[in-house]
């Protein structure tokens, strides 16, 4: 299975909880992700009662897209992905040529997913500051994709420091001082390179354009790690733009139908839109090419036909002193470059030239 690398954008089709607790719908989401050409399809694995207390409120977007009187716990309970489905979904995804991923939101779910031998772990934005769980994510030894929605730059650095500690220590830190002391060691920081990808993200569903702040991707690059983008905007424009700014991983929510009930459907792409996004990203990445500025293979013929050379502006007699008015440029398919024209002024004509004829030096 393809994994994130430096050669191609890794596209994660985020099914999340859009299966609505329906097994058949989960499988159909895998089909849609595979047909769209995504590299991975990702779900969410959690124990609702461990993730949210009975008093936990819903976010505003969840109140707008679900029953506002329902508690967050009650909503999450209906959206759990049963553990007995996971291996079947994983096998089915791989049979369709797409990698199965799932995000854990509690230590028990992480332990379960670790047994599945997933190729990487995505750490959700909400858990970036959850030091104990983040440390456990890092201790799995799997490559990590860290989403940074809602975070300050200092919180991102703290998260990276915790990951670095977990990669270099057998036991949890006793204090954050221990974490920061480890972070001051260049060798510990170097362990993150090639192991951690940071995703810029705005945790609003859908995200308005004025809150996308794609330039923050450039700030995250200061950590000298791969950077990507987790998108919650409507449409395909912003994730494609993120690739143009250097995103190596794109994560995008999708659904089979935006009119389905549930908290995330309204901010998700439908299958044809997901396929369009994947296609546009692949085309864009091809178009980005490499930093070398040079004629492309198809340009050489045009270059020969479109560029001008030095020609006689009027008849020039042999032995004449060439004046500026004797010379001009025109497309002639070959000859002296236009910049040579200045050097010819004041020189002696070696032979006679007819108007329009290529000059010789």
pLDDT > 70 in the chain, percent: 91
Mean pLDDT of 330-356: 97
* Tens of pLDDT, residues 37-93: 999 999 999 876 676 555 666 466 665 656 566 676 677 776 888 999 999 999 999
Mean pLDDT of 204-230: 97
Q: What is the pLDDT of residue 1?
A: 41
* Tens of pLDDT, residues 273-332: 999 999 999 999 999 999 999 999 999 999 999 999 999 999 999 999 999 999 999 999
Q: Where is average pLDDT lowest: 45-54, 117-126, 200-209?
A: 45-54
Contact 81, 20 (CB under 8 A): no
Beta bridge partners of 358: 311
Q: What is the pLDDT of residue 83?
A: 92
Q: How far apart are CA 166 and CA 178, in angstroms?
A: 11
The pLDDT mean for the chain works out to 93
Q: What is the pLDDT of residue 358?
A: 97
Q: What is the pLDDT of residue 256?
A: 96
pLDDT at 214 over 80: yes
Crossing angle for the helix pair 131-139 and 107-115, to the nearest 10 degrees:
10
Tokens representing 57 are 């409120």
The residues, any chain, with a CB within 8 Å of residue 209's CB and separated by 6 or more, are 233, 238
pLDDT > 90 in the chain, percent: 83
pLDDT at 204 over 80: yes
Considering all CA atoms of the chain, what is the largest pairwise distance in Å, rounded to the nearest integer? 101
Report CA dihedral (329, 335, 337, 343) to the nearest 10 degrees.
Answer: -80
- Number of other CB atoms surrounding residue 22 within 10 Å: 12
Contact 15, 79 (CB under 8 A): no
Q: What is the pLDDT of residue 75?
A: 72
Mean pLDDT of 127-140: 98
Structural domains of the chain in order of their starting residue, each with its CATH number: 10-288 (3.20.20.70), 294-361 (3.90.1210.10)
Mean pLDDT of 242-253: 97
Q: What is the pLDDT of residue 129?
A: 98
Residue found under tokens 């919180």:
155
Q: What is the pLDDT of residue 267?
A: 87
Q: What is the pLDDT of residue 113?
A: 97
Beta bridge partners of 252: 13, 231
Q: What is the pLDDT of residue 55?
A: 62
- CA 222 → CA 153, 157, 198, 263, distances in Å? 10, 11, 11, 34
* Tens of pLDDT, residues 143-190: 999 999 999 999 999 999 999 999 999 999 999 999 999 999 999 999
Tokens representing 247 are 């995103």
* Tens of pLDDT, residues 256-272: 999 998 888 888 999 99
Q: What is the pLDDT of residue 350?
A: 94
Q: What is the pLDDT of residue 266?
A: 84
């Amino acid at each position: 299975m393809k994994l994130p690398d430096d050669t191609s954008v890794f596209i994660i089709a985020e099914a999340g909880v859009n299966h609505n607790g329906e097994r058949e719908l989960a499988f159909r989401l895998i089909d849609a992700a595979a047909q769209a050409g995504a590299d991975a399809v990702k779900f969410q694995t959690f124990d609702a009662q461990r993730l949210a207390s009975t008093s936990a409120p819903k976010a505003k977007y969840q109140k707008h897209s679900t029953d506002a009187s329902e508690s967050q716990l009650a909503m999450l309970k209906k959206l759990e992905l049963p553990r007995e489905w996971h291996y079947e979904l994983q096998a089915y995804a791989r049979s369709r040529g797409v990698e199965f991923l799932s995000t854990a939101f509690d230590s028990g779910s992480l332990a379960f997913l670790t047994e599945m031998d997933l190729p990487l772990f995505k750490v959700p934005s909400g858990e970036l500051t959850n030091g104990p769980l983040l440390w456990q994510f890092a201790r799995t030894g799997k490559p990590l994709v860290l989403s940074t929605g809602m975070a300050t730059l200092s919180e991102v650095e703290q998260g990276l420091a915790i990951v670095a500690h977990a990669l270099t220590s057998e036991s949890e830190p006793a204090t954050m001082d221990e974490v920061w002391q480890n972070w001051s060691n260049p060798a510990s920081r170097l362990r993150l390179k090639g192991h951690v990808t940071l995703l810029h993200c705005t945790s609003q569903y859908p995200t308005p354009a004025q809150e996308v702040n794609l330039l923050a991707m450039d700030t995250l690059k200061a950590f000298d790690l791969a950077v990507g983008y987790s998108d919650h905007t409507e449409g395909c424009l912003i994730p494609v733009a993120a690739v143009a700014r250097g995103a190596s991983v794109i994560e995008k929510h999708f659904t089979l139908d935006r009119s389905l009930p549930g908290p995330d459907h309204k901010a998700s792409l439908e299958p044809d839109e997901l396929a369009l996004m994947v296609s546009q990203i692949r085309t864009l990445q091809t178009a980005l090419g490499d930093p070398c500025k040079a004629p492309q293979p198809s340009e050489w013929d045009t270059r020969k036909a479109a560029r001008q050379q030095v020609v006689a502006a009027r008849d020039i007699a042999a032995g004449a002193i060439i004046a500026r008015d004797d010379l001009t440029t025109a497309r002639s398919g070959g000859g002296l470059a236009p910049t040579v024209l200045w050097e010819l002024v004041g020189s002696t004509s070696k032979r006679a030239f007819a108007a329009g004829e290529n000059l010789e030096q």
